[in-house]
Amino acid sequence: MDQVFDFREFCLTLLRRFKLLLILALVCGILGGLFGFAVKADGFSGDLRDTYTVTSVVSVNLNRQEKDVPLSSIMTTIDGVLQSNYFQTTLMQAGFDKPELESAVAELFPQPETTELDEFKKTVKTSIKGNLILVEVTAHSQQNAQAYSIFSADYIAKEISGMVTTVSMTPKEKQTILQNSAVWTDKLVTTAKFGILGAAGGFGLGILWIFFFNIFSLKIKSVDDLKTFGLPVLGIFDQPKGGR
């Protein structure tokens, strides 16, 4: 038996079934959103603990005798040094392995969560904005994030001061920015992403379903279907629903 695909009929079916498509997209969107809400925001590791991001800021001042050197060029140099593998490795090793870190943490917290030190090594980010060096630390404990961020900023300021000899920098200001809403923001973004993906997937599935239904359905959909039986189609009538 001939299976005829009628594109016009397919489009008409899409229009007729538009509500069904919307419902399917809505249901899949809700399911996707729920899935997105359930998984961890930054992956599927299943770690649902809250995370906190703390940024410490080091303001860089130039020596008087170096006033003729443009600040931007000096900060570009510092940025290059900060992003170098050597410095990153040094920062991680020195910053988190040295005994003074442990003593500093011990001062701040009577019972430091030393088991999470490895975790911090992966979540320290440095960046330059104008004459500011920003050190961002993300951790599952707000206190730990703050402590390591301040410590890292101090360490960086000292290291830079030593490495770039033409300028002397001292940490002038330390500023802490707490972003403890990051978890929920990430969760909402992830939920929205999965929701949109689910809705698009549901819509696509509905279109696919109608497509294959059109191809494989045995029901009569158009004049062409009737013509395949070798008899003429004498009339086409549009009648109201309901039989007698």
Partner 1 sequence: MRYDAYVNTALAAMAKLPGSKPQVFVLTSSHADVDLLPTAEGLAAAYSMLGKKTLIADLRSDGLTLGEIRQKQGFFFTALTLVQGEAPPTAETMGALVEKLQADYSTVLLVTSPVLESMAAMAAVRAASGVLMAEKRNLSRRDEIEKALEAIRNLEGNPVGFLLV
d(CA 242, CA 188): 48
Between 45 and 239, CB nearer to partner 1: 239
Residue 229 C-beta: closest distance to partner 1, Å: 6
Instruction: Give the span between the Cα atoms of 166 and 118, in whole angstroms.
Output: 34
The torsion angles phi and psi of 173, rounded to 5 degrees, stand at -145, 140
* Contact between 78 and 157 (Cβ < 8 Å): no
Sheet holding 132-139, edge to edge: 124-129, 132-139, 52-59, 177-178
124 three-class SS: strand
Of the pair 6, 102, the CB lying nearest partner 1 is at 6
CB of 242 to partner 1, least distance (A): 7
Q: How far is the CB of 232 from partner 1 (least distance, A)?
A: 4
Q: Which is nearer to partner 1, 19 or 219 (CB)?
A: 219
Nearer to partner 1, 35 or 211 (CB): 211
Q: How far is the CB of 31 from partner 1 (least distance, A)?
A: 29
- Cβ proximity to partner 1, 122 vs 219, nearer residue: 219
Residue 227 Cβ, how far from partner 1 at the closest point, in Å? 8
Least distance to partner 1, CB of residue 189, Å: 42
Q: Quote the CA–CA distance of 135 and 81 in Å, as a whole number.
A: 14
Cβ nearer to partner 1, comparing 136 with 225: 225
Please report where in the chains the tokens 């979540």 appear, as a residue. Answer: 123
168 vs 222, which CB is nearer to partner 1? 222
- Least distance in angstroms from the C-beta of 205 to partner 1: 21
* CB-based burial label for 145 (10 Å; 0-12, 13-18, 19+): buried
Q: In which element (H, E) is residue 58 found? A: strand 52-59
**Spatial distance between the Cα atoms of 25 and 197, rounded to a whole number of angstroms:** 10
Phi-psi region of 40 (alpha: psi -120 to 50; beta: other; left: phi over 0): beta
Task: Please give the residue ranges that form the binding site for partner 1 (CB under 8 A).
Answer: 1, 218-223, 225-226, 228-229, 231-240, 242-244
